[in-house]
Chain A
């Protein structure tokens, strides 16, 4: 597995309550898409930051237990250096990930590959592939500072993917996108990226994520509440009652269906018609 947590507890600086409590988990296998969900403050973003080696290194705070990411220890300088380019992290705040050193979107996407010491030809190829995968070639010559919120999120996602990481940690990767773009990410981009990488998506909205999820991990108050196949977990009344499931499941429960509730509109309609 790409990420292995053993009894991990993490506290942000100045915070008495742990953001993660005694979490032991293995995830991120290449070719898989894991969806991490929970209420606000459940610890999903924190889990990604710890897996990426960004917490506590960048955030500060106190980490107990053991974390191995792609076999490396992200709490050490050597471990983090070895993870550069192999782990791609898209934060929920894509604007904080801009290099600030690029005049065009093309250069912004090239920034990561260039810093990995790739040859010019390899960088060109990687940037062009990323522009094509995300269907943003028309933005290539734009100044990143002038992009809209949604355009910027796509560009930063492309910039992360251009480094060809084998593990992608994505925090709310479609939250700034319009419906057409977020459909495109779920239907085309994520399956393409999953051919080469393990993908972990943290999101509070699982309506579309269930279409691609091989596995769902539900966090509550820094602990793992459920882990496994999405259909039985998110179709159970606990998750639906807690607002952690899909719109279709909530409607099915409120309409008096029996468990497990259907997770998608199509599954719900199927149940009614048959």
Chain B
């Protein structure tokens, strides 16, 4: 089942095209990472998906419906959106209120909205800050609040602009786990990221956007374990993959855990004591 689709989409802010005839689609439960150089049009593409922008040509569809004539509010029960900068979307007086706002707007009762919000906050380790004012917590944690808010809406499509930006390793792992869990429940996830290490750990499919065009659409392994192609696309091979390639580890692993295991096998053929 197609969760979202762009067909022949072009877009311009006025001076020159930002997106040129972009077509792509993702199925329910699919996790897609969107990479590309600064200014490639990644954020613009995500804004089209949530109807903050509308295409000059082509169509954007969520499920079977196009975003034509729709506003973000019309799509709020189906598409969760996390802005690149959390300050673009935070407004409530407490973290819990912020996260419960989406479900409440959808008509969910207070108790259930509270539970949905708490569940999302617990996943991200943010429940202890639930009574804090969103602007009293550090920037990176504000970003986690916006991710929780999008998740609490129980959308069919989750669009995240740089979800791992500024996060430490432990928190990044929490975000990865949450994304996988959402996908496991049938949510299609699209995330913009510059962090190929985060992408490698989490996503199956990688799209590369350059100058407004999709120049690669492949499984993560094919891009990450081909350093020449990765460099051509302006990507940096993640450190785990570089180690794997340089040492020619068996099975060509590229995720951190798999690389560690293969490396341990190389160092201690009889197993770790």
Contact = CB atoms under 8 A, between A and B. Distances in A.
Contact of A256 (B133, B137, B264): B264
Given A179-B236, A254-B264, 17 more contacts: A15-B136, A147-B39, A149-B43, A151-B39, A176-B162, A178-B37, A179-B234, A180-B236, A181-B38, A204-B166, A204-B168, A247-B240, A251-B256, A251-B260, A251-B263, A254-B260, A272-B266
B247 A177 contact: no
Given A180-B234, A255-B260, A175 B138 contact: no
A113 B261 CA distance: 54
Contacts of A180: 37, 234, 236
Contacts of A231: none
A268 to B, nearest CB: 6
B218 interface: no
A146 B170 CA distance: 34
B182 to A, nearest CB: 22
Given A178-B37, A179-B196, A204-B140, A95 B85 contact: yes
Interface in B169-187: 169-171
B79 to A, nearest CB: 21
Contacts of A257: 267
20 contacts: A38-B168, A40-B140, A40-B171, A41-B137, A92-B139, A146-B13, A150-B37, A150-B39, A154-B38, A176-B84, A178-B38, A179-B196, A204-B167, A247-B238, A248-B243, A250-B260, A251-B239, A254-B256, A254-B264, A265-B239
Contacts of A146: 13
Interface in A61-104: 92-93, 95-96
Contact of A255 (B169, B236, B263): B263
A262 B267 CA distance: 15
A14 interface: yes
Contacts of B87: 93, 96
B242 interface: yes
A253 to B, nearest CB: 8
Nearest to A204: B168
B85 A254 contact: no
Given A150-B38, A178-B36, A204-B167, A265 B260 contact: no
B39 A39 contact: no
B152 interface: no
B194 interface: yes
Given A40-B168, A146-B13, A272-B267, A251 B43 contact: no
The list of the 5 closest CB pairs from A to B, nearest first, reads: A150-B38, A254-B260, A179-B236, A243-B169, A255-B263
A45 interface: yes
A40 B138 contact: yes
Interface in B119-153: 133, 136-141
B197 interface: yes
Nearest to A150: B38
B1 interface: no
B196 A255 contact: no
Interface string A230-274: 000000000000011011101110111100000001001100100
Contacts of B238: 247
Interface centre among B139, B194, B234 (most CB of A within 10 A): B194
Contact of B267 (A178, A204, A247, A256): A256
Contact of A243 (B39, B140, B168): B168
B234 A207 contact: no
A148 interface: yes
Interface of A: 12, 14-15, 38-41, 45, 92-93, 95-96, 146-151, 154, 172, 175-183, 204, 207, 243-244, 246-248, 250-252, 254-257, 265, 268-269, 272
Interface of B: 13, 36-40, 42-43, 84-85, 87, 133, 136-141, 162, 165-171, 194, 196-197, 234-236, 238-240, 242-243, 246-247, 256-257, 259-261, 263-264, 266-268, 272
Contacts of A14: 133, 136
Contacts of A204: 140, 166-169
Nearest to A13: B136
Contacts of A176: 38, 84, 162, 165, 194
A183 B236 contact: yes
Nearest to B271: A256
A45 B266 CA distance: 41
Nearest to B86: A93
Contacts of A182: 194
Contacts of A175: 165-166
Contact of B272 (A244, A251, A256): A256
Given A243-B169, A247-B256, A148 B141 contact: no
A178 B234 contact: yes
A267 to B, nearest CB: 11
B141 A40 contact: yes
Contacts of A172: 166
